[in-house]
Amino acid sequence: MTSFQAVIQLVYVIAAACFVIGLHLMNSPATARRGNQVSTAGMVIAIAATLVLLIHYGTVKPIGWIALGAGTLIGAGVGLYSARTIQMTAMPQLVSMFNAVGGGAATLVGVYDYLHTENLPGGVLGTTTVATLLDVIIGCVTFSGSLIAAGKLQGVIGGQPIVFRGSRLFNIVLGVVLLGTAVFMLTTASQLALLVIALAALAFGVLMVLPIGGADMPVVISLLNAFTGTAVAMAGIVINNWALIVAGALVGASGGILTKLMADAMNRSIPNIIIGGFGTGDTAVLAGPGGDAQVKSIQADDAAIQLAYASKVIIVPGYGLAAAQAQHAVAELANVLEEHGVEVSYAIHPVAGRMPGHMNVLLAEANVPYPQLKEMDEINPEFPRTDVALVIGANDVTNPAARRPGSAISGMPILDVDKAKSIIVVKRSMGHGYAGIENELYFDPKTSMYFADGKTALTEMTAAVKTLVA
């Protein structure tokens, strides 16, 4: 290593340190913005060092500069535009797209390295072959899987799980082809074999995500995020670049942790989600407390009286709230109640929304101060002291049936909404959640059902509260 290369490597180490510090600062909303800035600074110096290295080598041909320059500028433009214009409800799609392009780029770096070194004396059967294979396989699975996930989230591809006859057998065949070709490549250099591997991995990514239902999206996105990180780390091992290895490993860890958290929040194992099941609605076997149970219905005026004379209200938002674009309406209702002296907080289940923490961002966008956003473990002890729990668009995560064995959602951690003194549920109909079972909460004598679209209901309630307190 020349002293020049050593300096560049040191700069990469500084960049890697910036990434770690940046992530560390994200442990509180108060410092998170600074964290993002530190991380950005690390990225800028890493890219700058790379450019210095390119110039130092002096081997980049003019067409090479044009290819790199054009690619970088167009990519940066597209990234900037989508980042600025994306709506917060569409964040999961954007994250999925970034996973796709990140995995795609990692694959291409691995592929190029393979093609290039194969032409050198000595061939490619060096120790990095395993890393190259992992890079290409994981990168391709991420690329196609993330595109399908983004398509599902955007509604381009039906959100319903898509399963076809013999898909499991086809997956096994693909797996055998992948493994066989990979083993073959350990002893023989072959561009064709690499192509086979890439195609098989792309097909595998598609087949992995297609059968997964909408409710499982938070897990899938997290998992694909972990995959992208791992692919980048493998690319780093292939080209022997520390910055890539550290960054990739950090992302792999982050994605892995989030995947685990999401799966735990649904009380399901990760393999179980990948194989499909719960999100597919095919476990809809158990009936609720029977058809003769009565539900109590409520109108805006009565709901307003309950809310306005409460001293503590907890709002339980679910994905339905975001789907109805009602996060601003809920924030307004909360404002009116707070001005009237009611203590308002939000109970956020870990899987509310379409990606980890999605609901928090949607409410933050609606100007809800973050100290009001409470995590499940933090808010659950507060329900018994709560006068009104207002459930909007959340279903399975409030179902007390989860506490008993024998239900499709048994063991899933839930919000203890039923422990509140009274409950108002805003819902369009008595339809089921993803688990396909009756929600026992709706039949609780303390519960009143407000049958309406989320936004309409909130607007009506806000108006009614205003009239009441005026």
Kindly tell me which of 16 and 124 has the beta carbon lying closer to another protein.
Answer: 16
Q: How far is C-alpha 451 from the geometric centre of its chain's CA atoms?
A: 30
Comparison of 74 and 172: residue with beta carbon closer to another protein: 74
Distance CA 81, CA 122 (A): 45
5, 188, 297, 325: which one binds another protein (CB under 8 A): 325
Question: Would you give the DSSP letter of residue 288?
Answer: -
Closest separation between CB of residue 393 and another protein, Å?
15
Residue whose CB is less far from another protein, 1 or 169: 1
Among 138, 209, 235, 409, binds another protein (CB under 8 A): 235
CB of 83 to another protein, least distance (A): 4
The structure tokens 């929600």 sit at 439
How far apart are alpha carbons 22 and 9 in whole angstroms?
20
CB of 108 to another protein, least distance (A): 4
Amino acid at 318: G
How many Cβ atoms are within 10 Å of 444's Cβ, its own excluded?
A: 20
Site for another protein in 341-400 (CB under 8 A): 348, 350, 353, 355-358, 360-361, 364-371, 373, 375-376
Site stretch for another protein (CB under 8 A), options 94-102, 296-304, 387-395, 437-445: 94-102
Instruction: Give dist(CA 35, CA 28) in Å, integer.
Output: 10
Nearest approach in angstroms of CB 172 to another protein is: 30
* Residue count, binding to another protein (CB under 8 A): 133
121 scored as a contact of another protein (CB under 8 A): no
Q: What is the nearest approach in angstroms of another protein to the Cβ of residue 229?
A: 5
- Residue with smaller CB distance to another protein, 148 or 362: 362
Verify binding: residue 412, another protein, rule CB under 8 A: no
Q: CA 174, CA 148: separation in Å to the nearest integer?
A: 18
Dmax (CA) of the chain: 85
Please report, as a single letter, which amino acid is at residue 159. Answer: G
Whether 359 and 261 have beta carbons less than 8 Å apart is answered as no
Q: How far is the CB of 346 from another protein (least distance, A)?
A: 10
Residue 123 lies near another protein (rule: CB under 8 A): no
Give whichever of 30 and 470 is closer to another protein, judged by the CB atom.
Answer: 30
Neighbours of 293 (CB within 10 A): 12
Per CB under 8 A, which region of 151-159, 201-209, 330-338, 413-421 contacts another protein? 330-338
**454-466 per-residue burial string, b: 16 or more CB within 10 A, e: under 16:** bbbbbbbbbebbb
What does 172-213 look like in DSSP terms, one character per residue? Answer: HHHHHHHHHHHHHHHHS--HHHHHHHHHHHHHHHHHHHTT--
Contact 426, 300 (CB under 8 A): no
Handedness of CA 85, 28, 223, 317 (dihedral sign): negative
* Residue of the chain from 7, 14, 32, 189 that contacts another protein (CB under 8 A): 32
The window from 178-186, 204-212, 218-226, 403-411 that contacts another protein (CB under 8 A) reads 218-226
Q: Which stretch binds another protein (CB under 8 A): 81-89, 163-171, 394-402, 443-451?
A: 81-89
Comparing CB distances to another protein, the nearer of 116 and 404 is 116
Q: How far apart are CA 236 and CA 113, in angstroms?
A: 11
**332 vs 418 by CB, closer to another protein:** 332
Closer residue to another protein (CB): 232 or 273: 232
Instruction: Check residue 423 for interaction with another protein (CB under 8 A).
Output: no
The single residue among 4, 10, 64, 188 that binds another protein, judged by CB under 8 A, is 64
Whether the Cβ atoms of residue 147 and residue 104 lie closer than 8 Å to each other: no
Interacting residues with another protein between 137 and 166 (CB under 8 A): none
Residue 348 φ then ψ, to 5°? -110, 115
Rule CB under 8 A: say whether 46 interacts with another protein: yes
* Residues 254-273 within binding reach of another protein (CB under 8 A): 254-258, 261
Distances in Å between the Cα of 328 and the Cα atoms of 119, 154, 365, 449 are: 59, 21, 8, 22
Give CA separation, 4 vs 16, 53, 236, in Å: 19, 9, 20
220 binds another protein (CB under 8 A): no
**Nearer to another protein by C-beta: 206 or 366?**
366
Tell me if residue 231 falls in helix, strand or coil.
helix
As a whole number of angstroms, the distance between CA 331 and CA 150 comes to 28
Single out the segment in contact with another protein by CB under 8 A; choices: 251-259, 387-395, 417-425, 435-443. 251-259
Judged by DSSP in three states, 396 sits in: helix
Site for another protein in 8-27 (CB under 8 A): 15-16, 19-20, 22-24, 26-27
* Length of the chain counted residue by residue: 470
**Which amino acid, 413?**
P
Per-residue contact track with another protein, 168 to 207, x per CB under 8 A? ----------------------------------------
Q: What's the closest the beta carbon of residue 235 comes to another protein, in angstroms?
A: 5
Q: Are 124 and 117 in contact (CB under 8 A)?
A: yes
52 binds another protein (CB under 8 A): no
Residues with a catalytic annotation lie at 396
